[in-house]
């Protein structure tokens, strides 16, 4: 923290209605790399969540009334400030979350890119004029901001999961209340400080930090003044929150868990597949919802792929994310570490083999070695669960239909990846995969211009792209009659 250029980016209380509000007691923010307490943040509760909603409700009419260009100017300033403080924001993110600094700075640029992109896209919220079946009538469609948006976000992308939602909401003319994950509120509060400096009016962007996830969650999902609820997190929590939203029939979008297949066909460029798999698997120590979860390799190339993959994975450097050259940081908590350890052990008990790693590392409490497993079956715990850790299970297959069936044999459908150079196969497989996003000969697919989201129990709604605005807009139909003289 001492090395930050701008220490006033570290805030210690919730940001509500343009004010830094106190709470009851404090939450310790722990660096997962070494267990140090890096800051304390006031613990807000139900009352503060209600205040934030009231502030967002009050700020809504004036924000909605601004032209898209006026909103874009303020958002552009916010974007510029995030980019000019990228180094500090990255450092704060690494300190509270653990990911390597280069990745953390990448996340800041990625999060900021949504603010820039949606600020511009907000100018293109076009309505429609529809040919009327009656000569004396005209049919028109307006798109209007839905109102107050409430969000709950996870710890794995403390900046970007907020930016992706807030950017679209604010560009559409909505006001916004977010409860960030308890482990990683500092990045959210730093965003609020920069929103404040950018001149985004009080009440438009609010951050409520509190450890009563359930209590605050109930307010955000059930309050009658919240029109839309958006969540990124586990499928289990998402399901409970959807149920809560039913009480007031809120518009809901959900970015939930995945179980991404990564398929390597025998005609693939194997070296490119190795690089793609590493990028999609080991980013953020495997703790992303689009991380490769199961690597399927066609029988005839499984030996070649595995040898090259193990060699490359073995070179990844694990350590404190602030240290030079580190590729993989700690997992977020000890519970996360025990979860990964158990998945590996249970799968080994069922016949899987660890060919690299497969153990915790003695450099802090939360470090797990980059791991590769072979002889894995699609029904083993490591293949059926979302791993959220640096473990690659390799499953071999013989034919295309078999692997599509195995890839789809899960309740979730967020991201999938495959490598092939056969154009017919590329179409067949891309169309056959029951996933919201498919990377073809590419392991990193997410950006502000593209629609991010899942099918099946991975959720609904899309973040990013022109489709991302729809989640924050209502369609209003106007029928103008009596045109005959
Ligand atoms: P993860 O396993 O990634 O922590 P969760 O779905 O448990 O996934 O958490 C995602 C976010 O949801 C976090 O901000 C967490 O604090 C919050 N959360 C967890 N449980 C609840 C709940 N019952 N009600 C509201 N928010 C919750």
Which one of 98, 150, 154 would you pick to mutate in the ligand 1 pocket, going by the greatest count of ligand atoms within 8 A of its CB? 154
Residue closest via CA to ligand 1's atom 4 equals 154
What are the tokens at 356? 């690299």
Q: Give mean pLDDT, residues 313-333.
A: 97
State in Å: Cα 255 to ligand 1 middle.
12
Which one of 219, 233, 236, 412 would you pick to mutate in the ligand 1 pocket, going by the greatest count of ligand atoms within 8 A of its CB? 233
**Per-residue confidence band for 127, with pLDDT thresholds at 50, 70 and 90:** very high
Check residue 302 and give its pLDDT: 98
Q: What is the pTM of this model?
A: 0.98
Check residue 24 and give its pLDDT: 84
Residues with Cβ < 8 Å from 111, sequence gap 6 or more?
Answer: 82, 157, 159, 160, 162, 163, 164, 191
CB distance 333 to ligand 1 below 6 Å: no
* CB-CB contact of 301 with 5 (8 Å): no
pLDDT in tens, 7-44: 999 999 999 999 999 878 999 999 999 999 999 999 99
Question: In sequence order, what E strands does 160-283 have?
Answer: 175-179, 205-207, 228-232, 251-255, 260-264
Residue 2 scores a pLDDT above 90: no
Long-range contacts of 299-306 (CB under 8 A, 24+ apart): 299/266, 299/396, 299/397, 299/398, 300/266, 301/264, 301/266, 301/268, 301/270, 302/394, 302/396, 304/270, 305/264, 305/270, 305/273, 305/274, 305/394, 306/355, 306/372, 306/374, 306/394
Backbone angles phi, psi at 356, to 5 degrees: -155, 140
pLDDT in tens, 222-265: 999 999 999 999 999 999 999 999 999 999 999 999 999 999 99
User: 3-state class of 59 per DSSP?
Assistant: helix
CB distance 287 to ligand 1 below 6 Å: no
Residue labelled with tokens 């792209």 = 465
What are the tokens at 59? 């700020």
CB distance 315 to ligand 1 below 6 Å: no
CB distance 334 to ligand 1 below 6 Å: no
Of 240, 191, 250, 161, whose CA–CA distance to 446 is shortest?
161
CB distance 181 to ligand 1 below 6 Å: yes
Please give the number of the atom of ligand 1 that sits closest to the Cα of 221: 25
- Give the helix/strand (H/E) hosting 459: strand 459-460
pLDDT in tens, 333-390: 999 999 999 999 999 999 999 999 999 999 999 999 999 999 999 999 999 999 999 9
Residue closest via CA to ligand 1's atom 23 equals 214
CB distance 208 to ligand 1 below 6 Å: no
Please indicate whether residue 291 is annotated as part of the active site. Answer: no
Please indicate whether residue 37 is annotated as part of the active site. Answer: no
């Amino acid at each position: 923290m001492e090395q930050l250029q701008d220490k006033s980016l570290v805030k210690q209380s919730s940001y509500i209605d343009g004010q830094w509000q106190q709470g009851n007691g404090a939450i310790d923010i722990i660096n997962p790399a070494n267990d140090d307490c890096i800051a304390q943040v006031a613990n807000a509760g139900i009352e503060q969540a209600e205040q934030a909603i009231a502030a967002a409700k009050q700020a809504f009419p004036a924000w909605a009334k601004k032209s898209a260009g006026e909103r874009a100017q303020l958002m552009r300033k916010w974007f510029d400030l995030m980019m000019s403080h990228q180094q500090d924001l990255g450092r704060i993110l690494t300190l509270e979350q653990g990911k390597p600094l280069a990745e953390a700075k990448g996340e800041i640029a990625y999060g900021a890119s949504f603010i820039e992109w949606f600020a511009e896209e907000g100018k293109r919220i076009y309505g429609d004029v529809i040919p009327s079946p009656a000569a004396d009538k005209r049919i028109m469609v307006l798109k209007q901001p839905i109102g107050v948006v409430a969000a709950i976000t996870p710890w794995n992308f403390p900046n970007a999961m907020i930016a992706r939602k807030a950017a679209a909401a604010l560009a559409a003319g909505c006001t916004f209340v977010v409860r960030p994950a308890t482990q990683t509120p500092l990045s959210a509060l730093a965003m609020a400080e920069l929103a404040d400096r950018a001149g985004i009016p009080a009440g438009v962007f609010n951050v409520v930090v509190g450890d009563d996830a359930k209590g605050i969650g109930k307010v955000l999902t059930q309050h009658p003044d919240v029109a839309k609820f958006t969540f990124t997190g586990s499928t289990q929590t998402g399901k409970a929150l959807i149920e809560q939203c039913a009480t007031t029939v809120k518009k809901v979008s959900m970015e939930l868990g995945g179980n991404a297949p990564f398929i390597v066909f025998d005609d693939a460029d194997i070296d490119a597949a190795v690089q793609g798999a590493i990028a999609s698997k080991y980013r953020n120590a495997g703790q992303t919802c689009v991380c490769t979860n199961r690597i399927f390799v066609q029988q005839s190339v499984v030996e070649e792929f595995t040898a090259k993959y193990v060699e490359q994975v073995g070179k990844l450097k694990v350590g404190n994310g602030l240290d030079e050259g580190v590729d993989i940081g700690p997992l977020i908590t000890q519970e996360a570490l025990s979860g990964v350890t158990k998945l590996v052990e249970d799968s080994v008990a069922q016949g899987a083999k660890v060919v690299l790693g497969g153990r915790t590392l003695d450099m802090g409490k939360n470090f797990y070695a980059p791991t590769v497993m072979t002889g894995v079956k699609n029904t083993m715990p490591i293949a059926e669960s979302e791993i959220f850790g640096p473990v690659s299970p390799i499953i071999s297959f013989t034919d295309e239909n078999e692997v599509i069936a195995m890839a789809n044999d899960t309740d979730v459908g967020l991201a999938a990846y495959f490598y092939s150079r056969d154009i017919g196969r590329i179409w067949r497989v891309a169309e056959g995969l029951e996933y919201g996003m498919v990377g073809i000969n590419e392991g990193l697919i997410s950006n502000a211009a593209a629609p991010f989201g899942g099918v099946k129990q991975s959720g609904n709604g899309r973040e990013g792209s022109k489709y991302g605005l729809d989640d924050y807009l209502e369609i209003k139909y106007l029928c103008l009659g009596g045109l005959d003289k």
